[in-house]
Amino acid sequence: MSLSVGQKAPDFDVVSSAGKALKLSDFIGKKNVVLYFYPGDFTPICTKETCGMRDMYADLESQDTEVIGVSVDSNESHEKFAAEYKVPFALVSDKNRDLARSYGATSFLRDILGKTARMTFVIDKKGQIAGIFQGELSAAKHVDGVRAAIKKLG
């Protein structure tokens, strides 16, 4: 499925590695959501991307925005990753890539490798997609894109 800016974001109902229930519908009318898919914990670009999100998290929170990171890694891996890099937001294990598929964060190569594509979605308080960022080899493209998209929603 190919999503585009202005489209209604697919709802999700997942549980974070810390056991917190997360539903897009719970954020509607209250918070923007940054939903980012990344190939794996502890890999160089994914670590840089996650740390970039971490470093601007307080600023995003002050703009009524929640961040959720998603990969196929286990909850145990996510907990270790979050502890090592002091990640303050939810990480979700999408082992079967169901959430990734609903957002189109898959590709032929990534399916073969059993991973997700690197994609970031900024979802506004109305539940509409306000920004989509893609780029396998650039953490900065995602972090900078989120910063700019949230600023526009301000």
List residues with catalytic annotation.
46
Q: Which residues, in sequence order, are CB contacts of 134 under 8 Å at separation 6+? A: 117, 118, 119, 120, 141
Structure tokens at 71: 């990969």
What residues form DSSP beta bridges with 123? 33, 129
Q: What are phi and psi of 130, to 5 degrees?
A: -105, -15
Structure tokens at 134: 């893609």
Antiparallel, parallel or unpaired: β 65-71 and 129-134: unpaired
